[in-house]
Copies of this chain bind each other. A is one copy, B any other.
């Protein structure tokens, strides 16, 4: 099922500049590079499952990933996205717990796997790396806290607007002036980010279209009026 591919070396990895491995010493980089494996995932393939034990760190080389949890009624909740350069699954690795979420490729992806031992070696020896990692983790926590406020206090309409803007930030692609959200999300996925029903997402998107805030091309969404959306989203206004 999984297709191992010839490892891209970390030294040559173009995604490394966006990654926490950016400023690693040659020595440590070599440790990682020599011991990691590199795997191709097809769209829809799961990279790791909630409830299983983490054996190492995943590092996205190519592709777009969703991180999600299964809620009580079998309805999934999308918590986060991964893009090239991002670490996946480090949280469970460092808290020494089971994965609290699953990760799935939203499109064909290439992902490197660094065994726990090698990652921990760097963790123990490179103090700058730990500091950066800690900084990043704490920053992530702040983002999660904002998500909590959004969910607790905003209407679905507001949350959908917020989500569209956030997706634009992460996955935007210039299209003759306006910004297309370049990610293969089903309406159901969108609903699972916002925390609502699929039908509601569809209805609200239709409203946004009438209001000239967005346009759609098939499943792809184009942001026409970000300021208008921001007003609806009520960004900390």
Contact = CB atoms under 8 A, between A and B. Distances in A.
Interface string A140-151: 111011111101
A158 to B, nearest CB: 9
Mostly, the A contact residues are helix
Contacts of A153: 71-73, 75, 77, 195
Nearest to A152: B195
Interface in A65-103: 69, 71-73, 75, 77, 79, 90-92, 94-97, 100-101
Given A148-B144, A151-B148, A151-B151, A139 B95 contact: yes
Give the number of times this chain occurs in the complex, counting copies. 2
A139 B137 CA distance: 11
A97 B142 contact: yes
Interface residues of A, number: 45
A152 B90 CA distance: 24
A134 B135 contact: no
Contact of A148 (B79, B95, B134): B79
